[in-house]
Every structure is written in C-alpha cells, then in structure tokens.
Structure 1
Amino acid sequence: MTAATTLHPDFTIGLVQIRVSNLERSLAFYQNIVGLSILRQAGREVEMTADGQNVLLILREIENAKVLRRNSVAGLYHFAILVPNRPSLGLVMRNLIATGIHVGQGDHLVSEALYIQDPDNNGIEIYRDRPRDTWEHDTEGHVKMATDPVDVDGLMAASAGLPWNGLPAGTVMGHVHFHVGDLGQAKVFYVDLLGFELTAHYGDAAMFISAGGYHHHIGLNIWAGQGAPAAPVDAAGIDYFTLLLPNEEERTAVVERVRQAGYAVEDIGGVPAFRDPWNIGIRLIVKKTL
C-alpha cells in the first residue's frame, strides 16, 4: 500500500450506533452497568455520553428486534470504550462485580480489558491502554498482543477508596471489532481501500488494523464462520460507526477511493456514509477544531 492510500495518523474512531429491542431496558443497562448517561433523546433514539458533551453511543430501538445468538452472523463483535487510566478501569470492574453481571477479561499486553454483553447480546469491551512507549513489536513491526489474565487485585488496589460516578470525562470510543465473512475480503476493503494498516494477526482467524501506529482501531475476525452472512436489519446489532478524520481533504480522499471502488456513498446531513461488504455502516466525520 502506498502512502497515498494510508489513513492520516491523526485519526480516531468516533461514536457507534447500535440497534436494541427494548429502549427502557437498554437505558437502564447502559446507565447503571456501563456508566454512561443520557445526553439527548429523540423518539426511540438516545444519545449517550461520558462527559456530558460528546456522544459515544447511540441506542436505536427496533421494537421486538431479533436477538441473535452470539458469534452467529457477520456484524458487531464488540465496541470498545477506552477509559483514561487504570484507577478508572478498576472502578468499572468494581461496579460490574457489584451488579452481578458476567464479566470476561483479558490482559492484551498493550491494554487491560473487561468484556460484557448487553441485554441484546451486543458485545462491549471497556479497557485502558498501557503507555505506548511500553508496547513491544515483533520482527515484522506488528504490535505484540496476547490474552493473559488481568491482574484483578492490582485493579482493585488502583481504585481503592475512589467513588464510582460512572465513566469519567476523557472516556472515548477506542476501537470496534467485527465478525466478517472473509478476512481476505476484509483486508481489501479496510486496508487496501480505506487505508488502515495491519498491526497484528491472531492466527488465521483474526486481524487487527489501525492508523498512526495504534494497536488497533478495528478488529476483524471469522469466528462466526467463513462466509458468515450479514446480520439481518431487523435484529439487534450495529447500525454504523464513525471515522474521525483531521480535515476535509482527508475525508474527500477517502470518499473518492470508496466511490472509485464501486461502493455507493450517501450524503446524510452533510456526512458521507457507505457500507462495508457485510452491511456495516461507516460515516466520515471531520474532527472539530478549537
């Protein structure tokens, strides 16, 4: 891949919009268990925030939406909420334990992560990064990652005596992770076309990609099976996620690449929008400048 088709290093993931089957139930979950708060509501859509200003997650109710078995279709595996430090993650863990929800966990060397499912089987990761200067790379330049046990005692100690007031200011959407039907096709779309760079492999079943040297902005896997179909539009899952780009020139360049590859690009309120090969929506936003 040439430099002309590499995403600008000043790139981040923005908000994620998901479909849920019961808005009231989901609001209780995302406020009490995850720690987000309501920013605004319009009908059966609710914008949720950590800092009272920026939208991290939008819940859109599809009444009586199908709730799919986990790892059964292409689509959302999880969205990943990044908290600013280790004490914050310790507080998240304390709150999750107090609620009695099942919590998965993994120390990925570059990060410490906790995993839960919402009432509609939408996957959620809440994590904190270790300092970037501590990340190690292999001989190919890929970021070294693993799935080791989290130091639970250390997280508890880091958050001892601190109050839980929900997710703190400084919390952002760190990455997204999808089931896809074919890794080769995913690489063509996300790496060769959009301009992400490969940062790591997990055997032959998953790959991780990013811009600017981050460990991963997007994870892609075939754990739902080679050739997995796209999730039905009337089922819980992801509607779209946003790519935050540094300027209009970068956005225009991405749009042109997508159009030239034959993908339809819509204009939704001035925002270019298109879909990946598994019907996952992508919208391109220019970052706000102060």
Structure 2
Amino acid sequence: MSRPVHPDTRIGHVHLKVADLERAIGFYSGVLGFELQQRFGSQAAFLGAGGYHHHIGLNTWESLGGDPPPPGTTGLYHTAFLYPDRASLGDALRRVLKAGIALEGAADHGVSEAVYLRDPDGNGVELYRDRAPEDWPRDAEGNLMMGNRPLDLQALLAEAAPAA
C-alpha cells in the first residue's frame, strides 16, 4: 500500500471553462461574494476570498459561447466551497436566494451541512460548512456514519451573518 498524502494537503483552487466571462464573474463575485483579483482581458479572471490570489479561475479560452456538457457525460460533478461557520453558510444561502437562483438540494450529512445549486454555465456548486470532527456521527465501532437528512433552510437563514 502506498503512503497517504500529507494530512495538510488541500484543494487550492478550481479553474472553470465558462461560456460568458462577465456572466460567470457576476455569479461568483456578485452573488457568492468572491473578490476579483485579476483579469486577463476579456478571456480570463481570477477571484478569491480574503485577499488570496485566487480560489476560482474562470476562462473562455476553449469555451466562449459554448454549451454545458450534456447529462450522462463525465466531468466535474460539483465544486464545493467550505464556509467557516453556520452563520457564513446562512449568508451564502441568503445571497443565492436573493439572486433568484434555484437550489437543487440541501442536506445535513452529519459531518457537514450543504446546499446545492448550478452556476450560470451549468456547473454544480456545493456551499457547505463542516461540523467539528468530535461531533461527527459514528457507529459503535467508531466508523464514520455520514447521512443525507433534510436541512432546515429557515433555521440556517435565521443564523445568517448580518447582510452588509
């Protein structure tokens, strides 16, 4: 068996092919609140949180005016954005609903709470927050017991950070 990856390894960013750069920036910046860090003309943009160089890359190099992949094909299932706490996740949900974006689902997985939607290019997006590892559900042998219970969206919105 090979040695596992270092435990501090994380996914650093996602880079997405989009059909319309301005529309994609409108979603990731205007709705979700990521800050535009840099543009490469009308073909690419990089957005981040907290001044980071980029968490999200967007480009039209091979996809300008293109269509989303059809159902039944391989590719990215979704990009997951981890929020630091429940209030921040509630704020993200409020932003999405205010923008009129439909949710595809919401779930309490035991280890996390998540809402699911699509960006303007049809890419799956998960907005979630983790529970502390000591609160993760486990069976009698200590094995992780993730689930897919309904998430109370009204309770989540009630805990949302105040709107800026």
Could you tell me how far 1:157 is from its partner in structure 2? 2.1
Could you tell me how far 1:12 is from its partner in structure 2? 1.1
Q: Does structure 2 conserve the Cα–Cα contact (< 8 Å) formed by 1:21 and 1:120?
A: yes
Q: Does structure 2 conserve the Cα–Cα contact (< 8 Å) formed by 1:82 and 1:127?
A: yes
> Does 2:84 match 1:84?
yes
What does residue 147 of structure 1 align with? Answer: 148
What does residue 40 of structure 1 align with? Answer: 38
What does residue 96 of structure 1 align with? Answer: 96
What does residue 14 of structure 2 align with? Answer: 16
What does residue 128 of structure 1 align with? Answer: 129
**SS in structure 2 opposite 1:18?**
strand
Distance 1:102 1:20 in 2: 19
For residues 150-203 of structure 1, what are the alpha-carbon distances to aligned partners after superposition, in whole Å with 9 as ceiling and x for unaligned?
A: 12232122126x124xxxxxxxxxxxxxxxxxxxxxxxxxxxxxxxxxxxxxxx
What does residue 57 of structure 2 align with? Answer: 58
By relative contact order (CA 8 Å, sep 6+), the higher-ranking structure is: 1
Could you tell me how far 1:101 is from its partner in structure 2? 0.8
What does residue 114 of structure 1 align with? Answer: 115
| Structure with the larger strand share | 1
Go from structure 1 to structure 2 and tell me whether the alpha carbon gap of 1:143 and 1:163 turns closer, same or farther (over 3 Å shift): same
Q: Which runs of 5+ in 1 are unaligned?
A: 165-290
Could you tell me how far 1:74 is from its partner in structure 2? 1.4
Q: Does structure 2 conserve the Cα–Cα contact (< 8 Å) formed by 1:87 and 1:155?
A: yes
Q: Does structure 2 conserve the Cα–Cα contact (< 8 Å) formed by 1:69 and 1:121?
A: no
Superposition RMSD on alpha carbons, in Å?
1.8
**SS in structure 2 opposite 1:35?**
coil
Q: What is the TM-score with the length of structure 2 in the denominator?
A: 0.89
Distance 2:142 2:53 in 1: 34
Q: How does 1:95-244 map to 2 (within 5 A)?
A: 95-103=95-103, 104-138=105-139, 142-159=143-160, 162-164=162-164
Distance 1:54 1:84 in 2: 19
Report the more deviating stretch, 141-150 or 24-33.
Answer: 141-150
Whichever of the two has the greater Rg, that structure is 1
What does residue 225 of structure 1 align with? Answer: none
**SS in structure 2 opposite 1:13?**
coil
Q: Does structure 1 conserve the Cα–Cα contact (< 8 Å) formed by 2:46 and 2:53?
A: no
Distance 1:111 1:7 in 2: 23
Q: List, as ranges, runs of 4+ consecutive aligned residues in structure 1 with deviation greater than 2 Å.
A: 136-143
Could you tell me how far 1:140 is from its partner in structure 2? 6.9
What does residue 74 of structure 1 align with? Answer: 74
Q: Which runs of 5+ in 2 are unaligned?
A: none
Distance 1:54 1:144 in 2: 36
Distance 1:93 1:118 in 2: 14
Go from structure 1 to structure 2 and tell me whether the alpha carbon gap of 1:113 and 1:9 turns closer, same or farther (over 3 Å shift): same
Could you tell me how far 1:73 is from its partner in structure 2? 1.4
Could you tell me how far 1:141 is from its partner in structure 2? 5.4
For residues 125-160 of structure 1, what are the alpha-carbon distances to aligned partners after superposition, in whole Å with 9 as ceiling and x for unaligned?
A: 010111111112346754211111112232122126
